[in-house]
Amino acid sequence: MAPATNGRVIFNEVPEEPGKTLVYDESEKIDADTVSLDGGFLVKTLGLSVDPYMRGRMRNPEVKSYSSAYTLGQPITGFGVGVVVRSESSEVKVGDHVYGLLKYQQYDVYKSTEGLRILDNKYNLPWSYFVGVAGMPGQTAYMAWKEYSSAKAGEVAFVSGGAGPVGSFVIQLAKAQGLKVIASAGSEEKVEFMKSLGADVAFNYKTTNTLETLQANGPIDVFWDNVGGETLEAALTAANIHARFIECGMISGYNSPNPPPIRNLMQVVAKNISIFGFIVSRLFHKYLEAFYEEVPKLVSEGKLKYKEQVYDGLEQVGQAVLEVQQGKNYGKAVIRVAKE
C-alpha cells in the first residue's frame, strides 16, 4: 500500500491555554506493508482511553510524581487497544489484540509485549470495553475495593464521582455486598444513572448540600473518593468510627495551582479512620488474573452495567480530555481511532 497519514496527538505545551496543550498532527507518514519491524510487530490502534490522571502528566518533567510527565513535542501515551497487523515476533501473531500503554497515534511498532497484554475476548465484548470496565478503570474499582474496603453487609458506603467509569463500578460492588450506597455526581442525568445502578441515595452535589445529605443518611463506613476537596471534608465529618476511606483521586484540585486545604483532618484521629491511597498497578500481582476471569463475564451476562461516551477520531482527544476534567462527559470517555 502507499504511504498513509499516521495521525498523532502531540503534547505541545504545559497547560496554559485550552486547545494548545494537545494538538493533532498529520505530518508523519507510514507504509504499513513496508515499515521496518526489526523483530517486533506493527499495531493498528483501535481505541484509546481518556482518564482524569492524564492531567497530572501534562507538567514540567522536573515536577516528580507517580507517573512520568509527557514529553514536549512527542505523542502522548495512555491505555489503549490495538490489533496486530504485521509481526516478526514470536510473542504475537497477526490478528492478536493487545491492551496496555499505547501512543496516541494510528500505527506504531512495538519491540516486545512488555507492558502489553494479549486479550482473550471469549465473551465477544466490544473492544472499547477493554479500556473501560474491562481495563484500567474497572481494575481500579475491583482491586482497591477488594483490598481496602473491608465491607460488610448493612454498612453505609459513599461514592463521589459515582457516574464515572470507576465510581459506577464501585456502586455495583457495594450493592452486591449488601451495603447501603450514597452516591454523588454533577448533573440530574448522572443522578438517574446512579439510581439505575442501585444507589439508595443519589444526589447532585451542585444543587444539594453534601454534608446534610451524608448526615441524614449515614454515618459513612466506607468512602470511595474520586473528588477530594469539600466532598472529602464532608465525608470526614459524616464518617462513622473505624470508617475506611479509599482515596482514588481528587479531581476537584487537578486544575487549581492552590487547592483549598482539608480543614478537619482531626476527624481521622477522633474517629479512628483508616485512609488508603493507592496506585492500581501496585495491586496487579494480587488481583489481575482474577479480574480478567470475573469481570468480562459479568459484563457479558448483564450483571455489571457500563456506559461509555465515544469520541470519533484522534482529533477529538483534546476536547475529550477537557470534558473529563470539567466533568462534562457521561460515562467512560473513549476515543475510537479505527475499526478492525
**Cβ atoms of 143 and 286 closer than 8 Å:** yes
Say what the pLDDT of residue 134 is.
98
CA 315, CA 300: separation in Å to the nearest integer? 31
Average pLDDT over residues 302-323: 95
Average pLDDT over residues 301-317: 96
Residues near 24 by beta carbon (within 8 Å), at least 6 away in sequence: 7, 8, 9, 10, 314, 315, 317, 318
CA 22, CA 57: separation in Å to the nearest integer? 12
Average pLDDT over residues 297-323: 96
Say what the pLDDT of residue 16 is.
76
Average pLDDT over residues 244-254: 90
Q: What percent of the chain stands above pLDDT 90?
A: 89
Band (pLDDT 50/70/90 cuts) for residue 276 is: very high
Band (pLDDT 50/70/90 cuts) for residue 331 is: confident
Say what the pLDDT of residue 19 is.
66
Q: What is the pLDDT of residues 71-101, one digit of tens each?
A: 999 999 999 999 999 999 999 999 999 999 9
Write b or e for each residue in 61-84: b if 16 or more Cβ atoms lie within 10 A of its Cβ, otherwise e: eeeeeeeebbeeeebbbbbbbbbb
CA 114, CA 97: separation in Å to the nearest integer? 14
3-state secondary structure of 21: coil
pLDDT(219) > 60: yes
Say what the pLDDT of residue 18 is.
57
Mean pLDDT of the chain: 95
Q: State the cell numbers at 16.
A: 496554559
Average pLDDT over residues 7-30: 90
Q: What is the pLDDT of residues 113-158, one digit of tens each?
A: 999 999 999 999 999 999 999 999 999 999 999 999 999 999 999 9
Query: What predicted TM-score, i.e. pTM, was given to this entire model?
Result: 0.94
Band (pLDDT 50/70/90 cuts) for residue 1 is: low
Band (pLDDT 50/70/90 cuts) for residue 259 is: confident
Better-scored residue on pLDDT, 340 or 156: 156
